């Protein structure tokens, strides 16, 4: 038999079914009704002299109305709410959301226990600070109070959440205004039609009736929204009470915490691998697998510096099919123009994707260790922080590996000047040859020979000769770029390798060395005696000379310059 709400014989029985705390008071604060849920929330029993008891004494134990009482602030009260704290008998705090709504000559007070909500927010805050995921509890809200039996529909409409009563065939008997806001239009006759279904929901808890159901929950997805349904059996008849809440925010919050937990696990794995693994390529492969998965991206390029500025240790990528794109990016990264820039971003016109994020990998003292490119922009601050969690340790790891290589490189330095020796220069020439063949990047060699080193040694001692060599070394070192190589290849001979350089630039550089750097430079060698510091230069570049003949042509030019020098100065024996 179909039972309607209008046939309920006792309004108090209906109010007792609602698991939200409900109090009804007069305009003089006198307590008229309290349901069981309210007494459980504030941990008090129905007072003996109930109708002589005031709401402020029953809820808060006060002798006077609360200073912040909504009725004192607004006697003509519209529906308002606030949050407050009450003490239970055991001394514990209960956080409640208190709402007062007028109806006729009465005031309806709804108490919602939000202690679990507050606990949830605190847990979320603690999770964010400690970068750990915590289990959270969905906030629970309950229904507002019902008024008298003949005003039950009006009372329904004052409730902020969607409330339905249905019979055993899921036919809707009563609904409040919130149904339209939370679910859909009111034309549907079955509860499952409000959720967009033509038949009862899969695994419906009420498939076998509502008799044994008491606050059973089921989550429904409506497009991008989530609605949680609470199902209770009706106090009379075989139907049920259905309460719907929009829990999209809570469910998305839980999903976000799960993602944070996954991120922390991935970072821990990467950190452990970096501590144990010295093979750079293995670490970068692992980095790609974790980084792209967490950021939900697919394509990326990673350029890693070598110990020599302007050189590349390796280029790693994911889903970049164009070899020409990789070459263009690598060549631009190694170019003199990019290496001399203070910022660490490639020009937009060579980027591989319309939206490309560029992240500089930094080591100690803000040294550039590499550059990470991946498809898509960094959308917000949270995603930027997520990127930093991966790239900062990777930059430090690469910097440590570069430091290890630099320590190994010390065997290739000249003991007097600290410059590179001939062995390192030969290795650098092979690297430049590879860049020339692969990226068409020209380079040049300059041979420098110190004039009259033998005269300084013979007349003023070998200490003076060493000081002459050191002076030339320091002046050259101050002049060359960080991407160039300066090596001492013999007693009085130096070689400069100019990367990303053609013949015209090389000649301009030699002219600057001759006319400005070594112009009027003297070495103090005795009492009021000064020894002139002069150097003969000769060079060649790959845009005018084959690689195999480069050193030979540079030597030839240097000897020609030295002959010209001795035509002006007396040749020492």
- Tokens (6 digits) for 211: 């008799």
pLDDT at residue 532 in the model:
92
What's the pLDDT tens digit per position in 310-359? 788 889 999 988 888 888 988 888 887 787 765 578 888 889 999 999 99
Tell me what the pLDDT averaged over the chain comes to: 81
Instruction: Give me the DSSP letters along 216-266.
Output: EEEEEEETTEEEEEEEEE-SSSS-EEEEEEE-HHHHHHHHHHHHHHHHHHH
pLDDT at residue 506 in the model:
96
Half-sphere exposure of 29 (CA within 13 A, CB side): 18
Higher pLDDT, 410 or 350: 350
Higher pLDDT, 235 or 92: 92
Higher pLDDT, 133 or 374: 374
Q: How large is the average pLDDT for residues 557-562?
A: 94
What's the pLDDT tens digit per position in 102-152? 777 778 888 888 888 777 777 776 767 665 444 434 444 444 333 344 455
pLDDT at residue 134 in the model:
44
pTM reported for the whole predicted model: 0.49
- Tokens (6 digits) for 490: 């013999």
pLDDT at residue 303 in the model:
93
What's the pLDDT tens digit per position in 209-223? 888 778 788 878 777
Q: How large is the average pLDDT for residues 267-290?
A: 84
Q: How large is the average pLDDT for residues 556-561?
A: 94
CB atoms near residue 13 (< 10 Å) = 12
pLDDT at residue 153 in the model:
53
Does 6 have pLDDT greater than 50?
no
Does 246 have pLDDT greater than 90?
no
Angle at 111 between CA 105 and CA 115, to 5 degrees: 165
Q: Domains in the chain and their CATH numbers?
A: 1-16+146-261 (3.30.450.20), 19-119 (3.30.450.20), 277-409 (3.30.450.40), 414-568 (3.30.70.270)
What's the pLDDT tens digit per position in 454-469? 988 988 889 999 999 9
């Amino acid at each position: 038999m179909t039972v309607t709400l209008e046939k309920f014989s006792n309004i108090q029985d209906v109010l007792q079914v609602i698991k939200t705390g409900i109090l009804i008071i007069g305009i003089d604060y006198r307590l008229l009704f309290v349901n069981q849920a309210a007494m459980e929330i504030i941990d008090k029993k129905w007072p003996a002299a109930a109708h002589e008891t005031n709401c402020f004494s029953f809820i808060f134990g006060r002798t006077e109305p609360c200073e912040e009482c909504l009725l004192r602030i607004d006697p003509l009260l519209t529906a308002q709410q606030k949050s407050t704290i009450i003490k239970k008998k055991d001394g514990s705090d209960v956080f409640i959301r208190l709402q007062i709504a007028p109806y006729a000559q009465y005031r309806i007070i709804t108490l919602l226990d939000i202690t679990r909500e507050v606990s949830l927010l605190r847990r979320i805050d603690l999770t964010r600070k400690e970068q750990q995921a915590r289990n959270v509890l969905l906030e629970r809200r309950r229904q507002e109070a019902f008024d008298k039996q003949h005003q039950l529909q009006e009372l329904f409409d004052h409730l902020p959440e969607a409330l339905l009563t249905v019979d055993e065939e899921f036919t809707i008997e009563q609904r409040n205004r919130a149904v339209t806001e939370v679910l859909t239009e009111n034309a549907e006759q079955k509860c499952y039609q409000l959720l967009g279904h033509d038949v009862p929901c899969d695994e419906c808890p009420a498939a076998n009736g509502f008799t044994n159901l008491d606050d059973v929950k089921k989550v429904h997805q409506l497009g991008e929204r989530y609605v949680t349904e609470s199902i209770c059996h009706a106090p009379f008849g075989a139907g049920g009470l259905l309460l719907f809440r929009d829990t999209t925010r809570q469910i998305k919050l839980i999903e976000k915490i799960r993602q944070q937990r996954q991120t922390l696990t991935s970072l821990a794995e990467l950190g452990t691998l970096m501590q144990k693994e010295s093979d750079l390529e293995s670490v970068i492969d692992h980095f790609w697998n974790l980084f792209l998965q967490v950021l939900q991206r697919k394509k990326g390029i990673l350029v890693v510096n070598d110990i020599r500025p302007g050189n590349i240790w390796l280029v790693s990528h994911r889903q970049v099919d164009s070899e020409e794109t990789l070459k263009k990016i690598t060549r631009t990264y190694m170019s003199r123009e990019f290496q001399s820039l203070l910022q660490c971003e490639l020009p937009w016109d060579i980027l591989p994707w319309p939206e490309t994020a560029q992240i500089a990998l930094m080591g100690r003292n803000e040294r550039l260790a590499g550059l990470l490119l991946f498809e898509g922009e960094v959308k917000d601050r949270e995603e930027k922080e997520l990127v930093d969690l991966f790239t900062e340790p990777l930059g430090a790891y690469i910097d440590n590996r570069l430091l290890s290589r630099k320590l190994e490189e010390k065997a290739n330095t000249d003991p007097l000047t600290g410059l590179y020796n001939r062995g390192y220069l030969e290795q650098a020439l092979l690297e430049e040859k590879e860049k020339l063949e692969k990226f068409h990047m020209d380079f040049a060699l300059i041979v420098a020979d110190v004039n009259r080193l033998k005269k300084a040694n013979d007349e003023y001692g070998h200490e003076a000769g060493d000081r002459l060599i050191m002076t030339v070394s320091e002046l050259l070192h101050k002049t060359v770029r960080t991407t160039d190589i300066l090596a001492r290849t013999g007693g009085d001979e130096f070689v400069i390798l100019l990367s990303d350089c053609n013949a015209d630039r090389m000649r301009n550089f030699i002219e600057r060395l001759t006319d400005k750097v070594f112009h009027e430079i003297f070495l103090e060698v005795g009492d009021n005696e000064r020894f002139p510091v002069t150097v003969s230069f000769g060079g060649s570049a790959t845009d005018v000379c084959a690689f195999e003949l480069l050193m030979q042509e540079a030597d030839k030019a240097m000897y020609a310059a030295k002959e010209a020098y001795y035509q002006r100065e007396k040749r020492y024996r």
